[in-house]
Structure 1
Amino acid sequence: MVELGVVACLPETDFLPWGDPAGYCEGARLFWEDSRFVSGEVLRVAK
């Protein structure tokens, strides 16, 4: 469900470079500026 929330917060972002869907203990960090989300980054668990 992480992916749906991130897409809703950043609807104009190209998520293809983010790669595979989030796994267990993975997610995204969203950046907030001027009362809106402006960008995000993937948080992955090292393999």
Structure 2
Amino acid sequence: MKKSDRIIMTFALLGVAIIVIKLVGTISGYDLIDMAVNATRPADAGG
């Protein structure tokens, strides 16, 4: 497997994962990406 193939596969898997997360989030009523972004921020950053 070439290195470029591996990079393309990684981006494809990331894209699929993001789409699945967004679909699950909209179905369950939560924006999981916003939640993840908020979780990675420091707790004292205004909220």
- Structure holding more helix per residue: 2
- Structure holding more strand per residue: 1
> Could you state the TM-score of these two structures normalised by the residue count of structure 2?
0.29
> Could you state the TM-score of these two structures normalised by the residue count of structure 1?
0.29
Q: Which of the pair has more CA radius of gyration?
A: 2
The structure showing larger relative contact order (alpha-carbon pairs under 8 Å, at least 6 residues apart) is 1
